[in-house]
Amino acid sequence: MADRDDKDLSGAAKMNRRGLLKCMAWTGTGVVWTLSGGVPRTLGLIGGAAAAEAPQGALTFVQISDSHIGFHLPPNPDPSATLTEAIEKIKAMPTQPAFLVHTGDISHLSKEEQWDDADQIIKSANKQVFFLPGEHDVADADNGKAYLARYGKGTKGKGWYSFDHGGVHFIGLINVFEFQPGFKSAGLAKLGDEQLEWLEKDVKGLSASTPIVLMAHLPLWTIYEQWGWGTQDAGRALGYVKRFGSVTVLNGHIHQIIQKVEGNVTFHTADSTAFPQPAPGTAPAPGPMKEVPANELRKYLGIRTVNYVRSKGAPALTDSTLVA
């Protein structure tokens, strides 16, 4: 984070983002965070000695997000290259993850050739991958038919699913379909009744000590309503999991790391592997921060490692940028 701060980047939006980064104690790319009992603690900069001491747990997985294959403009004319770098970084991890999750916007325009490229690159990690769609993946004229045909096998409803791994219960939620146009809560996504009812049943029989990972593309808390960065009915979903001792929420969409703790629930948005977006409200509109110079880009892109230590309920999260 300090490294990112030190760079002289032009543009008011960037100034504001830097300011925000300084103010938000829980925000930072390139910093290792440990979550113990829901309280985040900095271990040190990636590459530092402390980073090597992150606990080795029973289950490690990696989150990647917002690869936007097909995007071709500044600041990243080649998001395939940066996704490849992210995958190379995963392949080089000393503790290999059990699997990968991709929290959406695999493609930029829901085109088969974009998904082909993404799949080809991600496949080289030789890991099972759990995908979720972003709104860019359901932007075909048939409202997501192409995504579901390709990635939706074995899922419920419009692509939601759950699975268990290493004693952790994972839930993939879909919040990129049910938008409600309007003016008050304009454009906040919805999970919808059908999915929420499924979720309630899905977690019903689980012991409260089961660690839960809730994944969805759009944030499951309202970060910035004016830009649609939130989910209207997320509160209901969180109500179904509040009895659990450890709930980790992993989202994408906003192309930057913002984190929050609410009781036993920790919320984390992830970096993109393609391009950064401005901090909430610091630009006239969301969208790529095109003024980021090529030699700075990789400081804004990254992957996240989640490491469960069996003796503890909450996982350790490590966010690392694509800077070598």
Partner 1 sequence: MLTIFERAPRPSRGAVLLGAVALGLMLLAGLARVPAGETPVKAAASPATVQIDNFAFAPATLTVSAGTTVTWKNEDDSPHRIGDNNGTFKSAAFDTDDTFSHTFAAPGEYPYICTIHPYMVGKIIVKPAGKSS
Q: Is 217 in the site for partner 1 (CB under 8 A)?
A: no
Q: 135 vs 202, which CB is nearer to partner 1? A: 135
Could you tell me which stretch among 49-57, 134-142, 246-254, 303-311 binds partner 1 (CB under 8 A)?
A: 134-142
Q: Is 287 in the site for partner 1 (CB under 8 A)?
A: yes
Q: Is 179 in the site for partner 1 (CB under 8 A)?
A: yes
SS3 319: strand
Integer CA distances (angstroms), 252 to 5, 75, 95, 178, 224, in order: 23, 19, 24, 17, 14
- Looking at residue 108, its amino acid is H
Q: Is 3 in the site for partner 1 (CB under 8 A)?
A: no
Q: 55 vs 281, which CB is nearer to partner 1? A: 281
Pick the binder of partner 1 from 23, 25, 183, 205 (CB under 8 A).
183
Alpha-carbon Rg of the chain, whole angstroms?
Answer: 18
Q: Which residues pair with 320 in a beta bridge?
A: 303
Q: Is 158 in the site for partner 1 (CB under 8 A)?
A: no
Could you tell me which stretch among 87-95, 104-112, 209-217, 248-256 binds partner 1 (CB under 8 A)?
A: 104-112
Pick the binder of partner 1 from 154, 181, 205, 263 (CB under 8 A).
181
Closest distance of CB 215 from partner 1, Å: 20
Q: How far apart are CA 200 and CA 193, in angstroms?
A: 10
Pick the binder of partner 1 from 286, 302, 313, 315 (CB under 8 A).
286
Q: Is 187 in the site for partner 1 (CB under 8 A)?
A: yes
Q: Is 141 in the site for partner 1 (CB under 8 A)?
A: yes
Pick the binder of partner 1 from 30, 97, 133, 228 (CB under 8 A).
228
Q: Is 104 in the site for partner 1 (CB under 8 A)?
A: no
Residues 299-318 that bind partner 1 (CB under 8 A): none
Contacts of 248 (CB under 8 A, 6+ apart): 35, 211, 212, 213, 214, 265, 266, 268, 306, 314, 315, 317
- Looking at residue 244, its amino acid is F
Q: 228 vs 315, which CB is nearer to partner 1? A: 228
Q: Which residues pair with 62 in a beta bridge?
A: 100, 305
Closest distance of CB 181 from partner 1, Å: 4
Q: Is 145 in the site for partner 1 (CB under 8 A)?
A: no
The count of residues in the chain is: 324
Q: How far apart are CA 114 and CA 118, in angstroms?
A: 6
Q: At 135, phi and psi to the nearest 5?
A: -65, -25
Q: Is 123 in the site for partner 1 (CB under 8 A)?
A: no
Pick the binder of partner 1 from 110, 210, 246, 259 (CB under 8 A).
110
Q: 40 vs 288, which CB is nearer to partner 1? A: 288
Q: How far apart are CA 122 and CA 128, in angstroms?
A: 10
Note whether 316 and 307 are within 8 A (CB). Answer: yes
Q: 175 vs 307, which CB is nearer to partner 1? A: 175
Q: Which residues of 281-294 are buried (b: 16+ CB within 10 A; e: fewer)?
A: ebbeebebbeebee
Residue 78: other Cβ atoms inside 10 A: 12
Q: 183 vs 295, which CB is nearer to partner 1? A: 183
Chain residues in the site for partner 1 (CB under 8 A): 73-74, 108-110, 135-136, 139-141, 143, 179-183, 186-189, 226-228, 284-288, 290
